[in-house]
Chains A and B, each alone.
Chain A
């Protein structure tokens, strides 16, 4: 075996190994050490998605992620645009402020947000967790839009204005349609940030908000390996779908080779 083939094997195992184990575990009806494969298979773990706590947790995560994605894009789009218009030191300072929640450890951010959400009277609620998720999501997405607007030619907006479009009409008829792909990417990123959020959900939700990552964490700690594997696969699913969708979109727009 050449060193390149060896590297390929290592890469394949490290990439797909954990997922293969999760798939087998989720369908097993008993898998004990030192068996290499499960002794029996069952669909019971997946059936519990619709009947058990995993389904409820997935639904909670879904609405949190959808709302976070929408809010993040709505807020971050104008922020990114405003940042791109700044020049010199003020731009660096503003960009650093936006980057702070992204760079800060989630647990530290959560500690601060917990106090804030308690003041707002939404501590330990879904709304509080949603607000907490929005903070890093807005940071990420604003930085994405900063990049987009920095390189974007505003000639089409100017053309729209001088042809009679108001600011709002320019946004609606020109800017947003022309930013369709970055907006979809931003929605996907913000969705995934919220979907995979553990620390902020745990700290701000105080255990009362049972999002999917929290539920999977509980199942792992409780030793319910099959249900934990099902939950983990559910967590992975949006990331895989997003990756596939973005790659398809990028190929369609010639951003990637076929």
Chain B
């Protein structure tokens, strides 16, 4: 049975299209269900029998209208997971639900999902308008209606004037926008974007990022987007799901994820923290090369009981300050300066430890000078562990 795609007709197009019948109870139920729910999904790599290691016990949900970014190292299985959700790769176990409907064994065309490849795949023999109208063509929409809707969708991505061009005449950014418009024409319940921003120059990256956000903001479809770029993830995701060791290690809004990574692995993958060995002091704090730090209350109980922990401190929570300032915890000597467009840092030698600290780029200290380091306690987190883990 094909997926009921017409529930959100009005919001998907945002123009002149209204449901012709009164809302039915099924539609109301679907509207409440998450756009995507994965429960203990196992996806083999290459071998459908599952004999070869693949994704295991992947559970995740994406609410309707929500953008979730799937972030993880290369080769971790992000694309494989997306393809499995789209029905393009077999799964070895678990269930996939889209808007409350189990689509685990449903053919790709009836899942209510649209999968966009990393490089936009446009049909070379069809005009831009016909490409956008493709999902309507296969549903038997009349030509005049198809043309009208295609032009409306192209209008939304500012490409209506290119409607009669062939895909090979378009620029990279235009191709991406046409692919997005075509995806909307399919009226998906869930949009799956596979690294749409990789291999794009910065200008094009911004253009495509804006196009994705603009198009999705008017839609109540869920969006699951794969990337390996933290900046893209932060810019696009309402939540970020970290795929590590073939599982979802954490899924949270960016601010929460950066402040409270769920594990050392997540913290290391994000690369925002510096790691130190912390040894318990008598008053329950931890002695580190950055001085005595208190691990926030949010950290696991085991951290508070441990004699030694791994202390993670966000680099942007370590600031260079004048020696003698009240907030300074330790002092050291600047070994190297790293000027960046934003967030310039200095490598500061404190005892035997080299610590990266943020500096005021407009009033940067010089190499060799002595500075104090102040730590913002909100950027500190602790994990149970031994020095060998650090």
Chain A residues packing against B (C-beta within 8 Å): 155-156, 158-166, 169, 173-174, 177-178, 180
CB closest residue in chain B, given A176: B125
Interface residue? B64 (CB, 8 A)? no
Interface residue? B186 (CB, 8 A)? yes
Q: Which 4 A-B pairs have the closest CB atoms?
A: A161-B108, A159-B121, A162-B115, A165-B138
Q: CA separation between A180 and B123, bound complex, in Å?
A: 13
Interface residue? B44 (CB, 8 A)? no
**Which of B107, B116, B138 has the most C-beta atoms of chain A within 10 angstroms of its own C-beta?**
B138
- Shortest C-beta distance, A216 to chain B (Å), equals 41
Pair A159/B117 contact, Cβ less than 8 Å: yes
Partner of A164, one of B88, B116, B117, B135: B135
Pair B88/A158 contact, Cβ less than 8 Å: yes
Return chain A residues, CB-CB under 8 Å to B111: 162
Q: CA separation between A177 and B130, bound complex, in Å?
A: 14
Pair B124/A166 contact, Cβ less than 8 Å: no
Q: CA separation between A57 and B99, bound complex, in Å?
A: 65
Q: CA separation between A165 and B108, bound complex, in Å?
A: 9
- Known pairs A161-B108, A178-B124. 15 more at Cβ < 8 A? A155-B121, A156-B121, A159-B115, A159-B116, A159-B123, A160-B134, A162-B111, A163-B114, A164-B138, A164-B186, A165-B109, A173-B123, A173-B134, A173-B137, A177-B125
Q: Name B65-110 residues within 8 Å CB distance of A.
A: 86-88, 107-109
Return chain A residues, CB-CB under 8 Å to B174: none
Q: CA separation between A177 and B124, bound complex, in Å?
A: 9
Q: CA separation between A248 and B112, bound complex, in Å?
A: 44
Pair A155/B117 contact, Cβ less than 8 Å: yes
Once A155-B121, A174-B123 are accepted as A-B contacts, the answer to whether A163 and B134 lie under 8 Å apart by CB is yes
- Shortest C-beta distance, A177 to chain B (Å), equals 4
Q: CA separation between A177 and B117, bound complex, in Å?
A: 20
- Shortest C-beta distance, A126 to chain B (Å), equals 36
Interface residue? B183 (CB, 8 A)? yes
Return chain A residues, CB-CB under 8 Å to B86: 158, 162
Pair B123/A156 contact, Cβ less than 8 Å: yes
Q: Name B229-275 residues within 8 Å CB distance of A.
A: none
**Which of B107, B109, B185, B192 has the most C-beta atoms of chain A within 10 angstroms of its own C-beta?**
B109
A-B contact pairs, 29 of them (CB 8 A): A155-B117, A155-B121, A156-B121, A158-B108, A159-B115, A159-B123, A160-B123, A160-B138, A161-B87, A161-B109, A162-B86, A162-B87, A162-B114, A162-B115, A162-B186, A162-B192, A163-B109, A164-B138, A164-B139, A164-B186, A165-B134, A166-B109, A166-B138, A169-B138, A173-B137, A174-B123, A177-B123, A178-B123, A178-B125
Chain B residues packing against A (C-beta within 8 Å): 86-88, 107-109, 111, 113-117, 119, 121, 123-125, 134-135, 137-139, 182-183, 185-186, 192
Pair B138/A163 contact, Cβ less than 8 Å: yes
CB closest residue in chain A, given B108: A161
Return chain B residues, CB-CB under 8 Å to A174: 123
Q: CA separation between A50 and B109, bound complex, in Å?
A: 55
Q: CA separation between A118 and B86, bound complex, in Å?
A: 51
Q: CA separation between A164 and B185, bound complex, in Å?
A: 10
Q: CA separation between A163 and B109, bound complex, in Å?
A: 6
Return chain A residues, CB-CB under 8 Å to B137: 173
- Shortest C-beta distance, B343 to chain A (Å), equals 38
Pair B121/A162 contact, Cβ less than 8 Å: no
Q: CA separation between A96 and B239, bound complex, in Å?
A: 53
**Which of A156, A161, A162 has the most C-beta atoms of chain B within 10 angstroms of its own C-beta?**
A162
- Shortest C-beta distance, A182 to chain B (Å), equals 14
Q: CA separation between A152 and B148, bound complex, in Å?
A: 33
Q: CA separation between A165 and B110, bound complex, in Å?
A: 9
Pair B109/A162 contact, Cβ less than 8 Å: yes
Q: CA separation between A236 and B376, bound complex, in Å?
A: 88
Return chain A residues, CB-CB under 8 Å to B109: 161-166
Q: CA separation between A10 and B107, bound complex, in Å?
A: 62
Once A155-B117, A158-B88, A158-B117 are accepted as A-B contacts, the answer to whether A163 and B135 lie under 8 Å apart by CB is yes
Pair A162/B108 contact, Cβ less than 8 Å: yes
**Which of A155, A164, A165 has the most C-beta atoms of chain B within 10 angstroms of its own C-beta?**
A164
Pair A163/B182 contact, Cβ less than 8 Å: yes
Q: CA separation between A156 and B88, bound complex, in Å?
A: 12
Return chain B residues, CB-CB under 8 Å to A161: 87-88, 107-109
Partner of A162, one of B88, B119, B124, B139: B88
CB closest residue in chain A, given B113: A162
Return chain A residues, CB-CB under 8 Å to B108: 158, 161-162
- Shortest C-beta distance, A186 to chain B (Å), equals 18
Q: CA separation between A177 and B192, bound complex, in Å?
A: 26
Q: CA separation between A48 and B161, bound complex, in Å?
A: 59
Return chain A residues, CB-CB under 8 Å to B138: 160, 163-166, 169, 173
Q: CA separation between A163 and B119, bound complex, in Å?
A: 16
Q: CA separation between A174 and B125, bound complex, in Å?
A: 8
Q: CA separation between A166 and B113, bound complex, in Å?
A: 14
- Shortest C-beta distance, B190 to chain A (Å), equals 10
Q: CA separation between A155 and B115, bound complex, in Å?
A: 10
- Shortest C-beta distance, A88 to chain B (Å), equals 13
Q: CA separation between A119 and B192, bound complex, in Å?
A: 56
- Shortest C-beta distance, A15 to chain B (Å), equals 37
CB closest residue in chain A, given B179: A159
- Shortest C-beta distance, B223 to chain A (Å), equals 14
CB closest residue in chain B, given A153: B121
Return chain B residues, CB-CB under 8 Å to A162: 86-88, 108-109, 111, 113-115, 186, 192
**Which of A158, A159, A165, A166 has the most C-beta atoms of chain B within 10 angstroms of its own C-beta?**
A159
